Structures are given as C-alpha cells and as structure tokens.
Structure 1
Amino acid sequence: MSVFEILERESFGFSAENPTGTRSGGSRGRDCEKLRPCIQIEPGETVTLCDVEGPGMLTHIWFTGYTGHSFILRVYWEENEKPSVEAPISAFFGCAYDENFRDREGKYPVLNSAPILLAPGRGYNCYWEMPFRRHCRVTMENRSTQAQSLYYMIEGWKGEILANAGYFHAFYRQEHPVQKGRAYTVLDGVRGRGQFAGLCFAAGMNGHNTCWVEGEPKMYIDDSEYPTVNYTGTEDYFGGSYGFGNDILQKRYQTFSGLYAGLYAITGNDDCEMYNGQQRFLLYRFHIQDPVYFSRSFRMTMDNLGWTGPRYDDYTSVAYWYLEQPAALPADLPDDHELVMR
C-alpha cells in the first residue's frame, strides 16, 4: 500500500480525550482548553484503553506519563480470554532498564527504528501493524503500590484486511541471572503457522565483562532438533561486529540505531579499559525485511558466553511474532518486584 492510495477505511483514535475512539467523540473543550489530557490508574487497577470491533488494524500506539515496569500492556484478539500481547510497557518498547533516564553520555536513550521509536523524555511509540478480524481490546494494569498517570493514543482503522493477515504477539521473558552454562530462552512454546518478527533485548553485566557477546543466537524451526538460523555471535545477530567496536581500533563500545537493528543505549560504568565495567546494554533486532517463517513451531535461544566461557549476566527480552490464529502466551509474567532492574 502507498500513502497516496485512497481506500475504504474508517480511522479511529482512542485517547484520554476520546476514550471511546468514536467519530466526533473527542474533547468538548474550547480552543486551547485541555479537559482530560491523561488518566489515573489506581494500584491494582486494570483499565481498558481500546475496545473496537473489526475488521481493522492498529497502526500506532503512543504512551507517556509513568513509563515503568509496573504498567503491564495487554492486547486481546477476537474476544479471547487470554492476551496475545503481555509485557511491561518499558520492556515492550525496548527500555527494560526503565529506571535509567540517562545513557553513558548523559543523554536520553533514543531508539529510532521502523516499528518502535523511543523519543527523548520517554515518548513510547509503536508502529507494529496489528490486524484483527472481529475484535480488539487493549488494557493497561498498574501493578505498583501508588496511582500512576498515563497519556496515550491508540490509532488505527476499520476496513477489510488481507485474507492471510497474521495476528501480532509479544512475550516478555527474563533470567536474572542466566543460569551459567545453559542458553537463555528468548521464545519457546509457539505452535502453529507464522513468522518470527524480532525482539528487544537488555543485557546487564555481572562480574568482569570478558566479551559477553560471544554467545550464539539460534532459531529452531518446526520441531527441528538443531537450529536452522544460527548466528556466530551476539553482536553479529544485532547487526554489529567485533564487540560493537570494543574489540578493534577505538576499543570502545559505540551505540547505533537503525531501521531494523541497533545497540541504542549503554548505561552504567563507562570505563574505557577493554571489557572493564558493569555496564547495561539495550539492543533490538527486527525481522521485517528478513522474517523467519515456520509452519508448526518456533523456538529461539541465545547463549550467554564470553572469551573465558559461560557467563551469568542478567538477560531480559520481549519477542514479537505473527500467527495465523491468536494464541495464549507460553508463560505468565514474573511478579512486579522481580522486574526491578537498575
């Protein structure tokens, strides 16, 4: 589709000013008058942000206000009782270390990719296309101990979708720390026909940083015993090389943020001595130009490996994929207190 094509579609936008998302349902305020720019979500409360009949598609989601891990984003397709998207909003938008507002340069971390934009000041933007046939519901749960504010906009359109359109899924996982000598599981338990679309990833160093990027990402397709897609190193999978610059010439990690891959932020100690420092890395890899197709099942792992052997770092990820039919997620979220990452 091109932006200049005029199609039979009806746009909608759910926000605090138009919580029903209906035509002409926005603010009754006068010019330059704000009536309801945000909502408050009480401790333990779950609020429905978007409830819309299909067919149609979500095209843009924007959040700000409280943007920490205690806000849990869920998306339900076709009136299913179980969500197909469930993650702390910070991790969903690639910012798992949500308590760090400064990178090593003292600036706001900025993730500037095609499907996700993390803008300065914690503007969370999602451009993943999310088609649905009959119904879509988006909720936010506050798992913190105090009321939190949320500014939001959920945009999309109603109209016919492609017959072979898949349903968007997202799943959060963490190991703090990774069990030494065992691969970290990014995603498992996915059944059906679909395509893997990528992940956001956070790595927190524990112990001396002896080249944490030696681990191989591996993808197992359709119940295969051995991986089909097998990278040689962690930095290679995320589009980099030589320890993102720490192994060559300048001997220093360098951030980058592209359309589909990046190491967009480093927080923590920035000791320039090679591999010395308890740093935190925020990365992403989106399989949009190179989707990974599967017919029956999909599994992905990532080794936590350095020059001196297996490591025990903190790994956190949100995986994204599409399926022919909406499905429940492989596991439940950890408790809120387990998600704290500094």
Structure 2
Amino acid sequence: MESIHLIQNTKTFAFSAENPTGARAGGSRGGDCTKLRPCIDIHPGETVTLVDTDGPGMIQNIWFTGYVGHSFILRIYWEGDETPSVEAPISAFFGCAYDENFEDREGRYPILNSAKILVAPGRGLNCYWEMPFRKHCRITMENRSGEDKTLFYMITGCYMDLPENIGYFHASYRQEHPVQKGRSYTVIDNIKGKGQFLGLTLAAGMNGNNTCWVEGEARMYIDDDPYPSIHYTGTEDYFGGAYGFGNDIYLKRYHTYSGLYTGMFAILGDNAAFYNGQQRFLLYRFHVPDPIHFETGFRMTLDNLGWTGPRYDDYTSVAFWYQTLPHKPLKPLPGDAEMVMK
C-alpha cells in the first residue's frame, strides 16, 4: 500500500528557473499571470548548478524541456562526492538517444509511458526515480555544444528522515557506434559495492539489412560470477517482447508498446518492408518489481546478433542502479561530436 495517505514529518522543496534556490516563498515576485524567469540559457562550455541542498531528503521528480539533445549532460553528486553518481546526456537518460529525430514512423512524437520515466509530447522529459541522500545533493547541467541552449526545469522532492539502509541512485552512459562485430556490448561494468541493478534505456540503430537483429542475448554477472547467473534468450525477450517484436509472425510488422516497466516505444525510419535496413529502435527495461541484487559488484552485457550471425549496429544505453557509497568513478563520456546520432 502506498503511504501517500499518511501525515508525515516531511517538507517539500522545488528548484526551478523561477526559484533557483528552492527556498520556501522563493519563487517569482511578479504576481499573477507573469513570467519573469521561466527558463535559463546555458552558454557553450558552461555548467550550471540546478540543485544544491543539504539533507536528509529525497529527489522525487525531475522535469526538463527546451533543448533536449545530447549536448546537455546531467550530473548528480551525493554527499559531497567530487565524482558524479549520475552522468549522462539527458536525451539518452530519458530513452531518446536519437535526439535529432522528433517523429516516429507514424509521424508522431515518440511517447515513453513507464512508471519511472515519461517522455510526453512535445519532448517533455519526466523522471520519477526516487533518489535519497543523507547529507547533500548537487545536480548540474553542462552545455557541451558550441551555442547557447535553453533549459526549462522543475526538480522537486522533500526533506525527511531516512532509514539507515538507503542506496544511492546511479546512472552511467555507454555507446558503441558500431558495436564491434563478434563482441558483446557492455551495458555496464565496474560497479563495486552492494546494491541492486534497476535496468536501462537502449537505442539500437540498424546498420545494413535488419535480418532479425534481436537474436542477441542479455547476460548479467552478479558479484564474481565467471558465467552469467541471469541469461535471457534474446534481445526482444529481455525487453518483454517475443518473435521480433511481432515482425516474425502473423502481421510481419514491428509493433511498438510502452508498459510500466518495459517497452519498445518507438521506431524511427520506414517500416513498410520486411526487415528493411536503417531503422532505429528505442527501448527500456526497468527492474522495479524484480531488482537484481548484488553484494559486491555487477556487470551486464548484450549481444548484437542476427539470424546470419554477429552484427555491427549502433548501440547507445544508460544503465540505472542503486548502491552503497563510495562508488567507482563512472566511465568517461565520449566527446560531444561522437554522440551525434541520426
């Protein structure tokens, strides 16, 4: 049962362009029907602090719009750590790594409608991952492009007492453009600590003929596993689908879907021909009802495999997990130009 009906000793906070300090009564002095500072501009190479607050507390919702491309890098730091626990371009974090494509095969905005992330028309980015912190939280946004970019944002949460056994939210970006043929794609590795893996967003761009790209298997290695303890039979199976997301049987056509915890919510590119090339798929899988628990570490790989053998498609992902601190530094991001995806 949810606890929203309980009266608790909590205090709500909200950081936005109109109230950048998140202070009580810290919003606009403009009165009704005025907009004094609805957004901010972030200059080339500039990093802006969106949240800087002491705990204990929890981030409960993050909303972004404006520029929503890969040149905006979201970082979150817990407990005064100098290295971020979250570092990813906002487009990939919210499952829209093909951020220059604003319409799906039907000419509509792709809509990701899950319990933890919502991407709503026209490209409103919503995050509902709970992010507790005991002493301090800092959230920043860096503009790695060569021009000014506009950000609208609202970040809400509450100050509250926390249990002793909290885990800290982490997210890490990975890409291979293309995946090395014959080698598994690494979704995440080098996690050290105790916690639980909560899933990923994935963008898969086909290079060459499709030939059922979803034959690749997902493998999860818990702690010091020499072989995977969790081993799925295919890519579409891991993301909750079956038979090539519908392209293998009956209608012979891919079908999108978006559920509470998993989906293949968008296809970019023509889908008229059976297994035609150059399509782009946007997927997510969140282990909320079925978290993958680890004691000392975790890693996950995903094959890039078709009917005819190993492939060389473009894979882009963000992995999500909770863990104890301290944490290992996240893998450095590629350069801004290396993230361009069309």
Q: Counterparts of 1:162 and 1:280 in 2: how far apart (Å)?
A: 42
1:147 corresponds in structure 2 to: 148
- 1:184 equivalent to 2:185? Answer yes
The count of residues paired between Structure 1 and Structure 2 equals 341
Structure 2: tracts of 5 or more residues without a match: none
Q: Counterparts of 1:154 and 1:341 in 2: how far apart (Å)?
A: 28
Give CA-to-partner distance per residue, 1:18-54, whole Å, 9 cap, x none.
0000111011011101100000000000000001100
Q: Counterparts of 2:227 and 2:116 in 1: how far apart (Å)?
A: 30
Secondary structure of the residue aligned to 1:189 is strand
- 1:210 equivalent to 2:211? Answer yes
Structure 1: tracts of 5 or more residues without a match: none
- 1:294 equivalent to 2:299? Answer no
1:273 is aligned with what amino acid? A
The answer as to whether partners of 1:67 and 1:89 remain within 8 angstroms in 2 is yes
Give CA-to-partner distance per residue, 1:257-298, whole Å, 9 cap, x none.
00000000000122x332113100000000000000000110
1:99 is aligned with what amino acid? E
- 1:239 equivalent to 2:212? Answer no
Q: Counterparts of 1:246 and 1:98 in 2: how far apart (Å)?
A: 25
2:70 corresponds in structure 1 to: 69
Pairing 1:170-181 to 2, within 5 Å after superposition: 170-181=171-182
Q: Percent identity?
A: 70
Pairing 1:168-317 to 2, within 5 Å after superposition: 168-270=169-271, 272-317=272-317
2:338 corresponds in structure 1 to: 338
The answer as to whether partners of 1:178 and 1:304 remain within 8 angstroms in 2 is yes
The answer as to whether partners of 1:200 and 1:283 remain within 8 angstroms in 2 is yes
The answer as to whether partners of 2:85 and 2:330 remain within 8 angstroms in 1 is no
| TM-score normalised by length of structure 2 | 0.99
Q: Counterparts of 2:328 and 2:133 in 1: how far apart (Å)?
A: 15
Deviation of the 1:328 alpha carbon: 4.0
Q: Counterparts of 1:276 and 1:25 in 2: how far apart (Å)?
A: 54
Which stretch shifts more, 179-188 or 327-336?
Answer: 327-336
1:19 corresponds in structure 2 to: 20
Q: Counterparts of 2:113 and 2:195 in 1: how far apart (Å)?
A: 26
Secondary structure of the residue aligned to 1:90 is helix
Give CA-to-partner distance per residue, 1:224-263, whole Å, 9 cap, x none.
1000000000000000000000000000000000000000
CA gap of 1:329–1:250, structure 2 versus 1, over 3 A, is farther
1:2 corresponds in structure 2 to: 3
Q: Counterparts of 1:251 and 1:326 in 2: how far apart (Å)?
A: 49
1:136 corresponds in structure 2 to: 137
| TM-score normalised by length of structure 1 | 0.99
The answer as to whether partners of 2:192 and 2:328 remain within 8 angstroms in 1 is no
Secondary structure of the residue aligned to 1:63 is strand
Deviation of the 1:326 alpha carbon: 4.5
2:287 is aligned with what amino acid? H
Pairing 1:23-172 to 2, within 5 Å after superposition: 23-172=24-173
Give CA-to-partner distance per residue, 1:172-213, whole Å, 9 cap, x none.
000000000000000000011010000000000001100100
Which stretch shifts more, 38-47 or 157-166?
Answer: 157-166
1:167 is aligned with what amino acid? Y
Which stretch shifts more, 325-334 or 94-103?
Answer: 325-334
Secondary structure of the residue aligned to 2:236 is helix
Q: Counterparts of 1:287 and 1:326 in 2: how far apart (Å)?
A: 23
